[in-house]
A = this chain, B = another copy of it.
Amino acid sequence: MPRRPNPTTASPARGTIRSEVLAFVRGRLAAGSPPTVREVQQAFGFKAVESARQHLEALVAEGRLAKSPGRSRGYRLPVGGGPELNVRLIPQLGRVQAGGLREAIEDPDHWDRTGWLAVEGPATGAEMFALTVRGESMTGAGILPGDTVIVRRQDTARDGEIVVAQVRDEATVKRLRLRDGQIVLQPENPAFAPLIFAPDTEIRILGRVVEVRRRLA
């Protein structure tokens, strides 16, 4: 049968079965279901489990795959030196009316009806949610209408950070400025005026913007 024995001159085996195995594993990982060794075996028609495992182990040895030994479906993408890939799903509250935003944020029971967004971030248990931006008040900071902002839930923020704040019954995204005991919500667009508040008035910080996303498709 078609054995594929020693090419000997074998360079790092590009464009060969081995790379196809890598591509297969990549596809399965992207689809969210890491393959078992036997699934690789079947996909390539190997008659022995070990044949698939040899390719997988070789890919690990070459650094083109990573794995957790012993664990089932343990093959992963190699982490590029950086921190581990840590993806979380957060609720997308973008279409909640402003008045209900606070309840939506604080009541996880509302989340099931929303969309979900995959974000990468620290493993910390920080609550996060996503909102859709309305208006052009932050275009100067590269935040356009329709953009999605990913917000880390917190009650306070530091000067200069971009925050989501609740002003009376409305939620708004602005840059926070703390001056002379005053709270200023500063737009990043000369056509808009800053909103100035005294502490403990009808303003409340709902979270800090940690990421901005815009889909162009």
**Contacts A15-B107, A15-B109, A32-B32; A82 near B142 (Cβ below 8 A):** no
**Contacts A72-B73, A82-B115, A118-B120; A87 near B211 (Cβ below 8 A):** no
Give residues of chain A (6-38) contacting chain B, Cβ–Cβ below 8 Å: 12, 14-15, 19, 22-23, 26-27, 29-34, 36
- Nearest CB in chain B: distance from A195 CB, A: 20
**Is A5 at the interface (CB under 8 A from chain B)?**
no
Contact of A142 among B19, B147, B161 (CB under 8 A): B147
**Is A202 at the interface (CB under 8 A from chain B)?**
no
Question: Can you name 14 A-B pairs with beta carbons within 8 Å?
Answer: A22-B109, A26-B108, A26-B116, A30-B87, A30-B118, A31-B86, A31-B88, A32-B85, A33-B34, A78-B112, A80-B115, A83-B112, A162-B216, A211-B216
